[in-house]
Each structure stands twice: as structure tokens, then as C-alpha cells.
Structure 1
Amino acid sequence: MKSFKPAAITAVMVLITTILLVPSQAQAHGVSMFPGSRTFLCWQDGLRDNGQIIPYNPACAAAVAQSGTTPLYNWFAVLRSDGAGRTTGFIPDGQICSGGTGGPYDFSAYNAVRSDWPLTHLTSGANIQMRHSNWAQHPGAFNYYITKNGWNPNAPLKWSDLEPFGSVTNPPASGGAGGLNYYYWNTQLPSGKSGRHLIFTHWIRSDSNENFYSCSDVVFDGGNGEVTGVGPGGQSPGPDPTITPTTPAGDCTATWKATDTGWAGHFQGEVTVKNTGAGSINGWTVKWTYSGGQGFDGAPWNGVLSGQPPNVAVKNATYNGQLAPNATTTFGFNATGSVPNPAPTLTCTSP
């Protein structure tokens, strides 16, 4: 499958661009990052090295043509300050994905009935880790819904099309507010689902009336979180996607850096994985060897630990293993011990 563009070109560009464009009165934000909401994946699709947003995906491009790029620079701000947990009768049918029209930005274009929105591939009945941006952290509940079997994807989304399949209150977060940190929780997807569906997530703050809304386009085709329809050549092929060739083993690189060294006996590291081959890769593994007794303080984020120190191996997560040529992704970790000096030599292989 084609890959999705990395969550950010550089952390600095993402943070600077977003902060400059977010008005001060909108302090609390968040939409679904996995399965990716329309605004989050369209932001990923269009974000270029220089900070501009120029979509590849035709649905994202149509949304930008209708309402400009400001909504995508504020991809995390699909909100209503007067939501107060209300659903049907408050937000009209056909405007569910935008939370109506009373928010700080015009997200109405993201209600469009189209079959080419970025798409996350899932397996019915599987256990997944849902992730929701915590651009600003607040207590509250996340209620999530899925379209009923037999819903019409070629008509505007109605409340009667949705059925709840879970809720969580005050889940843990991957890190502090801002940037690309997120709340996360495990849930089991409904069984008996096939083909195209839509997952709707409603974040209801308990300390104010502010609410947040996310529409995530998914297809139940036996997938493991792969995303299509994002990035150059990433047009979503629909319920029966073709599989693009993978590059030979070794057609990826991994670059190490220590990102936080200010606490004695611990440090934080980040590894950037890049596809250096001519075709898309379908998974990666990064390995290195510690020589100074270093270890891990908890599990890595955006990666799965498959080999323990001193011989470390980290594999891709379900949602970031697909990389197009020249695309990158990162994973991070908290470590015990001193920062390796010199830095370890990393190897990266793909299946």
C-alpha cells in the first residue's frame, strides 16, 4: 500500500507554523490522530518542506479550494465552545464532521461526500490503540461511534447512521500538551464490519462546554492501520487496494539524536527513519548496540521494541511502517544511563 506523509517535516516547522496561525482565544484543541481524522491526514498530505500546504489528495485539495489552508494549519481545532456534550438536534445532519458551523474556523468543506478522502485500513474485530491529539490537555470523555452496516456513504452523514462502540474518560497521554503528543487508549473494533465506514469521535470536556469532533474514514479490508490517499501518488484505491512493490532489505536509513539530556542518569532519544529506495517500503526495523549499560525507561513511542538492550531492535508501529520514497518517520524513547558517546551505529532494514 502507498504510505502516508510523515506527521511533520520538521518539529520546528510544525510548531512554529501552527503557533503563528492559531488565534490566542482558541486554547484547547484535538482531533483523532489514529485512525486519522480528515483534517489531520489532509494536513499531513499537503504539508511541504517550506511550511506551505499544497494537497496531493483530491478531496483535501477541494477542501482547501473551498475554505483555504487556515483550517489545515489548525487541523486540531474542529471545536464548538458551546458543545456541552450535545449531539443530534444541536449539530445538524450533514455537518457532523465539522461540528456544525459555530466554531472558530470553517471546517464545512470536510463534510463533503466523497470516496477519495485519506483512508485508514483496518480489520474488523481487531484491537487497536486509538490516539487523539492533546494540543491542550483537559479532563473529559471520548465517545466514539462507527457507521452502521448498510449506511449510505454516498449521502451526507446523519446521526442515525452512527452507533456507539466505546467511551473512555481521562485516558493517559504520550507527552505534554502541544506538538504531536496525544491521548491514547486501547479498544476493540466492532466485528461484522466490511468495506468503507466512518469513525466519529466526540471529545467532551468536563471542565467547560467546549467539545471537539473528528471524522475518520476507514475501510475494513484486513488492514493493520495502513493509510492510503496521502502524499504524492497516494490516491486511495478504495476497498480493494493494490499492493505496491516493497524495496529490498536495507533501503532505509536511521539517524539518532539525543533530544533531552538535562536529567541525571536519564536521557531522551529520537530516531528518524527514511526510505532511501526507489519504491515504497512496507515496514522497517532499526537495530543498534549499547556499550555503556543503557536501557529503556518505559516503551518507545511510535515504535515497537522487539530486541532488548544491549542489542536493541525497534520495529515500526502499525500506522507508520508504510513509507514512500524519501519519506521519513520518527520514533522516540526515554532511556536510562548516560548518553552514548560516540552515538551508536544504527542499521535499518525493510522486509
Structure 2
Amino acid sequence: MTRIVKNPNPTLADVGEQAVITAIVAHAPSTRNGDDAAVLDHAAPNSRTVITTDTLVEGRHFRRDWSHPAEIGRKAITQNFADVEAMGARPIAALLALSAPGDTPLEFVADLARGINERVTDYDAELVGGDVTDNDRITIAVTGIGQLGGSLPPLRLDQARPGQILVASGHIGYSAAGYALLKEFGRAGVPAEFDPMLRAHCSTILTPGRGFVARSAGVTAMTDNSDGLVHDLYVMAKKSAVTINLDSAALQPDDLLVRAAELVGADPWEFILSGGEDHTFIGTTFGPPPTGFVEIGTVVRHNSMGAVTLDRAAPPYTYGWESY
């Protein structure tokens, strides 16, 4: 039974589990949500299901003094749907598992759900269910579900081949710059000109359909830049047993990235090569760059150990995000 409360700003403990679920469904509505499990429509003929999951933990992946709840919701969907699209698939649904302390404001959950709904709507997808539970810190786990249509293979990490070009879609380095600015100045202290970088870090925005376009245009291997450009490309290079060479001329930091780096006393190349969380799509193809992509390097040769170079030399920054 839902508790009756008079508090104009109730917490999760004030209202109880069912009211929390009701708030989520109200702000991220779906006709498939509300039963014991969601029943999705049959996949199209010659179609496969793609599933991924990712978790955001307060204090490790987001901070409430840096990010609005709706931004956190959008980010949670973006990072999962980017993984779906990196396979060349189309996102169709998401599940949310939310753990939060009882003193968390209900308004936080409502705004989180609103942000989730804004982002799934961008993809013509829905939040179709999930779970809520008590915890000592806010943890947001999203499962992304997609469909991979047609007979073309998925864009696997082990399908990069010598002679291909390396292509990318999206900003590289902006999220890392936004993070550095937030660490230095806090949300309120970052100059307005750097708003694109704050959005890149707090609420990454991607153009839906890039994965589908890439697969249709002949891209064979793809990943999203989530843990750092060199780090993520090394995973691809190792799985494909190749050396991938980045072209510094194609990756030159723009003026805004240079100014951000100067402001925090950093090297913009560190943002580009090791930053991560841009969720830029990076792929390999024998053809020209697909629509919305640009060439940033080449796959130069077989290499059983896998390697990533910058202008045929070792990159100055090679680290990336590691959970442990």
C-alpha cells in the first residue's frame, strides 16, 4: 500500500516502493511496463536481438552537484544505446534497475526518469521495466536492447583488417575536458563558452542511427569511445591482430578544446587520446567514410599482439578508464 504523506518534497522512504515505480512510469511511459515482465514484439524476419548493460554509481560515474538528474538519466541511456549501435543495431528498449537510499528525494527519481524518457524517445525506443531497491548510494543499472536486421554481420571488434581506413563520428575529447573543468571549477564556475563540454560529460548526445548507417555502408568493426581512444582501439587491434595508426592531422584539437586545456593546465592531446566517455563511434572500412563519419587513421598491418600508433609512433598517452 502506498503511504500517505504530507511532505511537499517527499523522499523514497516517505512514499514507498510502489510510488517510486509509479513516478518512473509516469515520466517514462510505456504500455509494456507495469507487469511482471515486458513482452516485446517479434523481431523482424532475419533479425537478431542485441543486449548490453552498464552501471552508473554515484561518486564514481556521476555527482549530483555536477549533474542534474535528467542529465544522469540521459547519460545512462546514451552509454548503453551507444553499445547497441556499435554493433550496427537499432536500440528498441531499455530496462532500469535503480538502487537508492531512502532519503533520496522522489523528485530526483522523477527527473531521472524524465531524462531517460527524453533519450529513449530520440531512438523511438521505450523504458519497458526494471526494479527499485534500497541502497547506501545511488546506483543506476540500465540494460539496452536492440535489433540487428538483415544478413550483414554485426560490427565485431575482431573484424578490422589491414588496408582499411579508420573512421569516426562525433567529438573526441570533449567529455574529458568537461570533467577536468568540473573538477577545477565546479558546475557553477565553468565559463559559459564551455557548455558543449559540460553537456558532453554530463549528458552525452549522439546522433541516433550512426551504427545502422555504418553497417549498411560497409564498416566491418566498430566500437564506441567509452574508456579512452587509444585504450578502446587497442582492444580492437588486439582482437583483430592488427596495428591501427591514428593520424594526428585528423585529430587536431579545435580551438575550444585548446582553450579548455589551457584553463585547467592540461594537454588537449591527453583529452583526445585518453579521455573516454565521448561515445564517439570508431570503425574500420575498405570504402569511403559513411555519412556522418570522417577518416582519422588506417589499419596498417597484421600484428598478433595488437598495437595502436600515432603517426606511426607510440602515442604520448595510452591509459584509459579501468574499473579496478
- TM-score w.r.t. the length of structure 2 is 0.26
- TM-score w.r.t. the length of structure 1 is 0.24
Which structure has the highest helix share of the two? 2
Which structure has the highest strand share of the two? 1
